[in-house]
Amino acid sequence: MAGGQTVKVIDTHSQLWTAEAIMSMPETMREGYIRVFGDNLPTLEDTVNDMDAAGVDKSVLVAIDAETVWDYRVSNELVAESVSANPDRLIGFASVDPHKGVIARKELRRAVEQDGMKGLKLLPHLTELRVNDRAMYPLYEEARDLGIPVLCHMGTQFHTGTKLKYCRPIDVDEVAVDLPDLKLIIAHFGWPWYEEALAVAHRNLNVYFNIAGWAPVRIPEFVFNFMKGPVKEKALLGSDYPLVSRQRIMAELADVDIADDVRERLYYKNALEVIPGLE
């Protein structure tokens, strides 16, 4: 990155699961994460070290706001503070709870204008609002006006008590058609509805998808086949770290048979078109 070198690998989706972030979660969720990680909750230094070991230049950290329904929040301020400690490596995506109405819209603008956030993360299964619910549209309009993308959790989830019905990729199609100037990202390629997700990305110029949360050896061949052709300009690298380490993702992707131009698109070129301010 020194001397104006172009960024070569951008992770468009990772989590801030430091001890401080975990302690901000509801007890039932916190217990679930602690069962996975024990006392070895990943620090911010662990995040950067994992990036270094994997050869990842920049990584998005997402905030979480599902406070109204689930009392679950990893604040924009905490993410912004983490980004400010590593501004050349980390990119912040804000999150706001759509149930908060005007307050959410104002917080999104504040997070972008004051904290430098570069995107909006929404979690329909935790807010219990589908992405095409009309209550979501004020946030979409705000994001569009701010020039930032919206990253939507799509597909399955492991939180106990959440419902899959809120995370169908087909719902993104309606938003994409209604707001063609808003960039939308389908997270986790919408599994198990990956054909649906790829169809939405294929037909809408403003829709992208990432492969976060999956070890590449587990990604269906169908997804890679479409990435080689119809949606090669729509695929984004993502880890969902610490659920999957970037080291494992990059090592396994190196063994996937894809052309250099497709790999460059996946690793960084598509992200440069979606996330504002990257060089």
User: 160 in a domain, yes or no?
Assistant: yes
> Of 246, 251, 219, which Cα lies nearest the Cα of 235?
219
- Over pLDDT 70: what percentage of the chain? 96
For position 4, what pLDDT does the model report?
Answer: 41
d(CA 154, CA 159): 13
Q: How many domains does the chain have?
A: 1
Report pLDDT digits (tens) over 61-91: 999 999 999 988 999 999 999 999 999 999 9
d(CA 136, CA 126): 14
For position 37, what pLDDT does the model report?
Answer: 67
Report pLDDT digits (tens) over 115-126: 999 999 999 999
d(CA 279, CA 268): 10
- Check pLDDT > 70 for residue 25: yes
User: 106 in a domain, yes or no?
Assistant: yes
**Bond from prior residue into 169 cis (ω within 30 degrees of 0):** no
Model pTM score:
0.94
> Of 116, 234, 131, which Cα lies nearest the Cα of 176?
131
Provide the 8-state DSSP code for 18. S
User: 135 in a domain, yes or no?
Assistant: yes
- Which alpha helices (H) appear in 55-123, and where do they start and end? 67-70, 76-85, 102-113
User: 48 in a domain, yes or no?
Assistant: yes
CATH number assigned to the domain comprising residue 29: 3.20.20.140
User: 279 in a domain, yes or no?
Assistant: no
Q: Which domain holds residue 99?
A: 2-274
Residue 123 has which token pair?
């979690």
d(CA 154, CA 165): 10
Residues 250 and 54 sit within 8 Å (Cβ to Cβ): yes
* Mean pLDDT along residues 176-198: 98
